[in-house]
Amino acid sequence: MSEIPYERREEYAAFRRTVEADQAQNVTLDNKSPGTAGLGANQSPDDLYDSALQAMGNNNYALAIDLFQRVVKADPKHKGLWNNLGRAYLASNQYGQAVDAFKKQIEINAYDEFAYNNLGLTYEAMQRYDEAIAQFQKQIEINPLDPYAHSSLGLLYSKLKRWNEAVPELEKAVSLQDKNPLLHISLGRLTSPAARLRREWPPSIAPSLCLPILWCGTTSRTRWPSRTCNWIAPANIPMPPSMPSRRNFAT
């Protein structure tokens, strides 16, 4: 950079960063005609497929879709093609096309290890929850040890406030992916004392119990300990089923 005028060094540095970022994507295409990319002689389906995956890794879903579609024309039964094309559509919020792609993968392989879970995630994004649950359950039927299907099902049950069904699915997912911190957090949010209180107390009462504030007054109060904070409630409010039956009254 010694030959670059000092006042233009920043411009050159910015240009160089841009070029290096483009090179990092490492996506090359041969054009049959100006402005129309095609399957060149040196672009095999595998090459295009790898380039499409790389484009997805760079969050360039439009390019990934274009490349996957070119693979479809050359080798429509390429391993993993329809799953990843569906994922690119899903990431682009093109849900209808994603559903079609995942169904095509299932048509090719009814025992696919990813397609049902991916289809379930698409239905969930479309708020077609019953269909999403059915797809997650189908994936678990094919592979009972699939942590992704168990976590997807558990998180959807949690979203729908079907707590008793959510917990065992997330517990199974955690047992299969013990080092996944997000699964531990999701499970903890359902099984902590505070979470149980929010579910079991009436909505008008539960929010106030989740604040670490002592209630002051002259009436009797009931206190029971929690690992996170002390919960205090008026003595005339019944104890939720999951809490200890013993009461310690404070004046």
Q: What is the DSSP string of 1-62?
A: -TTS-GGGHHHHHHHHHHHHHHHHH----EEEETTEEE--TT--HHHHHHHHHHHHHTT-HH
Specify the DSSP element, H or E, that contains 141. helix 129-142
- Tally of CA atoms within 13 A in the half-sphere of 112 that contains its CB: 24
- Tally of CA atoms within 13 A in the half-sphere of 89 that contains its CB: 22
Give the pLDDT band (50/70/90) at residue 205: low
36 φ/ψ angles, rounded to the nearest 5 degrees = -125, 105
Instruction: Note the pLDDT tens digit of each residue in 148-161.
Output: 999 999 999 999 99
- Mean pLDDT (whole number) for 109-113: 94
- Mean pLDDT (whole number) for 42-56: 90
Q: Per DSSP, what are the bridge partners of residue 223?
A: 232, 248
Token code pair at residue 164:
């008793």
| pLDDT value of residue 204 | 56
Give the pLDDT band (50/70/90) at residue 35: very low
| pLDDT value of residue 186 | 86
- Contact between 64 and 52 (Cβ < 8 Å): yes
pLDDT at 54 over 80: yes
| pLDDT value of residue 195 | 67
- Contact between 146 and 139 (Cβ < 8 Å): yes
Token code pair at residue 71:
């693979």
Instruction: Note the pLDDT tens digit of each residue in 183-202.
Output: 888 888 888 776 666 666 55
| pLDDT value of residue 5 | 53
- Is the pTM of the predicted complex or chain greater than 0.85? no
- Mean pLDDT (whole number) for 17-35: 42
pLDDT at 203 over 60: no
- How far is 118 from 83, CA to CA, in rounded Å? 8
Instruction: Note the pLDDT tens digit of each residue in 163-176.
Output: 899 999 999 999 99
pLDDT at 33 over 50: no
Number of H helices and E strands in the chain, helices first, is: 12, 5
